[in-house]
Chain A
Amino acid sequence: MNDFLNDLPLFVQSIGETLLTVLISLVVSGALGLVLGVVLYVTRRDGLLQNRAVNIIVNVLVNIVRPIPFVIFVIAIFPLTVAVLGTYIGVPGAIFAISLSAAFAVARIVEQNLVAVDPGVIEAARAMGASPLRIIVTVLIPEGLGPLILGFTFVYVGLIDMSAQAGVIGGGGLGSFALSYGLQRYNYTIIYITVAVIIVIVQLGQFFGNWLARKALRR
């Protein structure tokens, strides 16, 4: 316990790093995945912007990236990370890898939720003379918002998992902390405290997501 008190400032810093990594990754992968998911949805057969070629390309891309285990994915894109950021270590490297990997998962989740939107309302907007882009922004996404928020909440939990894994290969945050100060010093107290904090971060996010989704769905 004494050890832990000594390490407290570093522990707090690690929490900050994890939160920063997760939140920025959520925004970046959320935006990127939303665009990819919408593209997947609208280019389907009989979609708003039906386009077989684009649909196949994005589908294949998503199918290639998604099954790769994250630890391997991080290492595999080191060259790309270095090319973009100049380094693969630390919080920025972790954010880059996590955002990219998660974007493809988000794309599928977004696509699935948009498929569930009543095609009738899209037809109604078309009949009113709305352009495809306008329909996407003012009808499609608002109509699917509740499930989309739940989807993003699901992703958020996954991001915390990924951020811990990124920590193992030098990405900072609670993952790194548990590894260097817990595992390597055989200090299980530190590992358990870290786990407890992660659980709290997950729960808070899940509650917030559920609350937002309920507001969007008005129930």
Chain B
Amino acid sequence: MIGYSGAGKSTLVRLINALERPTSGTVLVGDDELTALPERRVRAVRREIGMIFQQFNLFSSRTVAGNVAYPLKLAGVGQPERDRKVAQLLDFVGLLEKAHAHPEQLSGGQKQRVGIARALATDPKLLLADEATSALDPETTADVLALLKRVNRELGVTIVVITHEMEAIRSIADRVAVMDAGRIVELGDVYDVFAHPSTPTVARFVATVLHDRPSPETVQRLRAAHPGRLVTIAVLDQKGFTGLLSRVFAEHGVENQIVFGGISELQERTIGALTYELTGEPARIDAALAALAAQGIAHDEEAAA
């Protein structure tokens, strides 16, 4: 789940475990209609939904093992079974040797691992992660994302991830929802949404995540140094794409230079955009762009200054 700050991502996620109640509408989780259940029954449903947080929210008054055991105690699991389960979970997240440590003795990445172990204690089918890696450095983020991916693949847990990091989307997301002003404005397969955003809002947000298209401010700065026409072309997932572009420009006698761009990989496919400065006769440039369009390669011309 992605979207600008204040778009309503946290609110939507908190509706899923009824930490927040909607003023209208219904919330369905599996077969449970949360909005129709009284608070007592909702608590039982919450035990089936794990949640991890940006600030980890570990109990500082309990040890690592005590944190993981807490949801099991709530579920009425007896001591021997609890101990077995806690050991198994800590082993899964690679922190068995830290069982008796207190949270303040752990690094950020380790804290989030404990958070994940705690969230998985009651074998939930669903895990909610609200910016779970936003407080971590890039390397630790990659570790935690790899762990989440294992949770998804090995344990079959569906994970709802709120993030603004391309790294998180790239490494674990299958489907993505884009939120804006309290609504989901786009929902679909990650590659489709990123490669073919349906509305300008989505396109703008996707660009902020991919860092592949110049912002209006960047365009202004580019203009100062580059007098030619600035054209941004979405990179298609095909072999020799940039070579093809160079060839078409050359055939039409158009000088070209890449002045901005970003290419990343998403679901093993290439995605991104390149901004070219094109110089030459306007008619030739138009002809070159028309030739590209004929091959299904679209472009956006950055508005003139």
A interface residues (Cβ-Cβ under 8 A, vs B): 118, 120-121, 123-131, 134, 138-139, 142-143, 145, 218
- Return A114 CB to nearest CB of chain B, in Å: 13
B interface residues (Cβ-Cβ under 8 A, vs A): 17, 19, 43-47, 49, 51, 53, 55-62, 70-71, 74, 102, 104, 118, 122, 128
Closest B-chain residue to A119, C-beta based? B57
- Whether the pair B70, A120 counts as a contact (CB closer than 8 A) is no
A134: chain B residues within 8 A (beta carbon): 74
Q: A121-B59, A123-B57, A124-B57 are in contact. Are A218 and B102 (CB under 8 A)?
A: yes
- Whether the pair A142, B59 counts as a contact (CB closer than 8 A) is yes
- Whether the pair B43, A123 counts as a contact (CB closer than 8 A) is no
Q: How far is the CA of A134 from the CA of B46 in the complex (A)?
A: 15
Q: How far is the CA of A126 from the CA of B57 in the complex (A)?
A: 12
- Whether the pair A120, B59 counts as a contact (CB closer than 8 A) is no
- Whether the pair B58, A130 counts as a contact (CB closer than 8 A) is no
Q: How far is the CA of A123 from the CA of B61 in the complex (A)?
A: 15
Closest A-chain residue to B55, C-beta based? A120
- Return B19 CB to nearest CB of chain A, in Å: 6
- Return B58 CB to nearest CB of chain A, in Å: 7
Known: A125-B70, A218-B102. 17 other contacts (CB 8 A): A118-B55, A118-B57, A121-B58, A121-B59, A123-B19, A124-B53, A124-B57, A124-B58, A125-B59, A127-B19, A127-B46, A127-B128, A129-B43, A129-B44, A129-B47, A134-B74, A139-B61
Closest B-chain residue to A140, C-beta based? B61
Q: Could you jot down 18 A-B contacts, CB within 8 Å? A: A120-B56, A121-B57, A121-B58, A123-B19, A123-B53, A124-B59, A127-B17, A128-B51, A128-B74, A128-B118, A128-B122, A129-B44, A129-B46, A129-B71, A130-B43, A139-B59, A142-B62, A145-B61
Closest A-chain residue to B59, C-beta based? A121
- Return A135 CB to nearest CB of chain B, in Å: 10
- Whether the pair A143, B43 counts as a contact (CB closer than 8 A) is no
- For the complex of A and B, 6 pairs with smallest distance between CB atoms: A129-B46, A142-B61, A120-B57, A124-B57, A129-B47, A127-B51
Q: How far is the CA of A123 from the CA of B14 in the complex (A)?
A: 10
- Return A58 CB to nearest CB of chain B, in Å: 23
- Whether the pair B74, A126 counts as a contact (CB closer than 8 A) is no
- Return B166 CB to nearest CB of chain A, in Å: 26
A123: chain B residues within 8 A (beta carbon): 19, 53, 57
- Return B41 CB to nearest CB of chain A, in Å: 10
Among B53, B60, B74, B104, the residue within 8 A (CB) of A143 is: B60
